[in-house]
Structure 1
Amino acid sequence: MFSRARTAALTTTLATTLAAAIATSLAAGSATAGAPTGPPEAARADVPRTHLTMRFTGCNGCDIRLTQALDGREQVWQSKGRTVRHGTASWSIPTSRTHGLSVTVLAPWDGGAGYVPTVAFRYGGERVGDEVTDAVARTKKRASACWAGTAKDAVTLRITVVRARSTNPPGDPIRTPRAFAAVTQRWEKPMERAWHGISGTQDATYCG
């Protein structure tokens, strides 16, 4: 519903694993995904790094993961999961990984809507720097889950998570995260459909 179909084995594994975790009302930190590939960037002193901090409203206990999947590239990079404690989760990652980054939000109270909730970095009609409230977010029908990234060595993003109403595949009423940047960020394509401001994917979110 929210993303283009992709058939690469790695991203299929990612989507299947995360969707299964939501369907069983995942315990924080329980989701796993395909192992990252490529050189051990963390061990290379010459790689510029960014300390990325996310301050969450409404999602203590949520499992948060970062994914970089870029159009035209087969390789998909994913961070280790972080459990939100005291409203905060943080990572130290190569700065190049912030470009085209998407963020999944797995909440212990998610009823399992058949997709993986993602953070909306920009809603249709909003400009970079615009403040976004839930009253605004719930009216939105288009969203980008792709962050344009940063060249800075440290960045803090404020993320709001609301227990939104939705339905699971059988049609039963559930709660699921409506997650969005409290201040509209620089974003990348695609702008995809969002249901009452809820952004999600059934696959890795490909950016660019």
Structure 2
Amino acid sequence: MQPSPTTRSPPCPSRPAFSPSSPCSPGCSRRSAAHPPRPGSQAGTQAGAAHRTRVVVRIAHCEGCEVSLQQGLRNRWWSTTPRRIHDGRAVFVVPSGRTRGLSVSVTGTWEASSPHPSGFQAIATLRYGGVAAGERVTFAQARTKRRGSVCFPGTTADRLVLRLNARKVRVAGNGGPALTTLAWADPQVRTMAGTQGRVYGGVFGAQDIVPCS
């Protein structure tokens, strides 16, 4: 039976999938390979010498919300330490190569008061199915969406600005009703081809770093 947006948690697009009874909650553990290399390692030295991009995540009306960047490519799993939105933005400086397959997790401040865990981490949908890059999407429109991609195609630019919206929504979590975050790019942005996945009521949820290839 196909769940409705307000009665079931979004399914996890990552591997492995999860059920609404999964014990995983927002902030669930990442793969050990997802952590950046140690500064003294060869990979760390190469990354330090690489061109870097300043990634600015802007979210209006979400002061104090936590965001993190993650990259999920074949044989490359990586994520940043979460940062709080301050004065409407959070800034990350990362190697430009990390921006291919980049996605943004968003945890709203309201999730701390959720009566039950949602069982997933909310990920910002960068482009919904049927919506072109550059188009604006309202909250009401986002709630009707059933497919979307969270995977950024990458950039070598010195600066990347991702403008997001975030709203508190209620889902059926683990053990009862839960609060989670519907986050989406507004305007919508380019995404990697072939990465559209299922969303429920506009919400894209994952239990791990989202695989973009």
TM-score range, shorter-chain basis? 0.7 to 0.9
Instruction: Check conservation: 2:124, 2:185, Cα contact below 8 A.
Output: yes
Residue 62 (structure 2) pairs with residue 52 (structure 1): no
Alignment CA distance shift 1:41-1:178 (3 Å): farther
Q: Is the contact made by 2:66 and 2:107 (CA closer than 8 Å) also made in structure 1?
A: yes
Which digits, 9 at most, give the CA deviation of each residue in 1:151-172, with x for residues without a partner? 2111211110011121212232
Give the number of aligned pairs: 188
Name the CA shift for 1:33/1:6 in 2 (closer, same or farther; >3 Å).
Answer: closer
**Relative contact order (alpha carbons < 8 A, sep ≥ 6): 1 or 2 greater?**
2
Measured against aligned partners, the alpha-carbon deviations of 1:91-123 in whole angstroms (never above 9, x if no partner) come to: 111111111101111223113211100000010
Q: Which residue of 1 aligns with 2:187?
A: 183
CA distance in 1 between partners of 2:78 and 2:197 (Å): 21
Distance in structure 1 (CA, Å) of the matches to 2:95 and 2:120: 28
> In the TM superposition, what is the alpha-carbon distance from 1:42 to its structure 2 partner?
8.2
Specify whether residues 79 and 42 from structure 1 end up closer, same or farther in structure 2 by C-alpha distance, changes over 3 A only. farther
Which residue number in structure 2 is paired with residue 10 of structure 1? none
Within 5 Å, give how 1:148-159 maps onto structure 2. Answer: 148-159=153-164
**Alignment partner for residue 61 of structure 1, among 45, 61, 64?**
64
Q: What's 2:205 paired with?
A: 200
SS in 2 for 1:161: strand
Unpaired stretches in structure 1, ≥5 consecutive residues:
8-15, 23-30
- How does the TM-score come out when normalised to structure 2? 0.79
The residue aligned with 1:36 is: 36
Kept in 1, the 8 Å contact 2:66–2:83? The answer is: yes
Distance verdict in 2 for CA 1:43–1:128, change over 3 Å: closer
Per-residue deviation, residues 125-166 of structure 1 (Å, max 9, x unmatched): 101111111111111011111111222111211110011121
Residue of structure 2 equivalent to 1:100 = 101
Percent of pairs identical after alignment? 31
Q: 1:50 to 1:123 in 2, by over 3 A?
A: same
Deviation per residue, 1:21-60 (Å, 9 max, x gap): 48xxxxxxxx987432372258734x11111111102321
- Letter of the 1:57 partner, please give it: A
Report the CA distance shift for 1:64/1:42 in structure 2 as closer, same or farther (over 3 A). farther
Matches of 2:53 and 2:164, distance apart in 1 = 18
Distance in 2, matches of 1:207 and 1:33, equals 15
Distance change (3 Å), C-alpha of 1:90 and 1:4 = closer
Match for residue 85 of structure 1? Answer: 86
Deviation at 1:192, TM superposition (A): 1.1
Distance in 1, Cα, partners of 2:205 & 2:36: 22
1:123 & 1:43 partners in 2: Cα distance?
32
Distance 1:40 1:163, change over 3 A: same
Q: Which residue of 2 aligns with 1:135?
A: 140
Task: Report the TM-score when normalising by structure 1.
Answer: 0.81
Q: Partner of 2:181: helix, strand, or coil?
A: strand
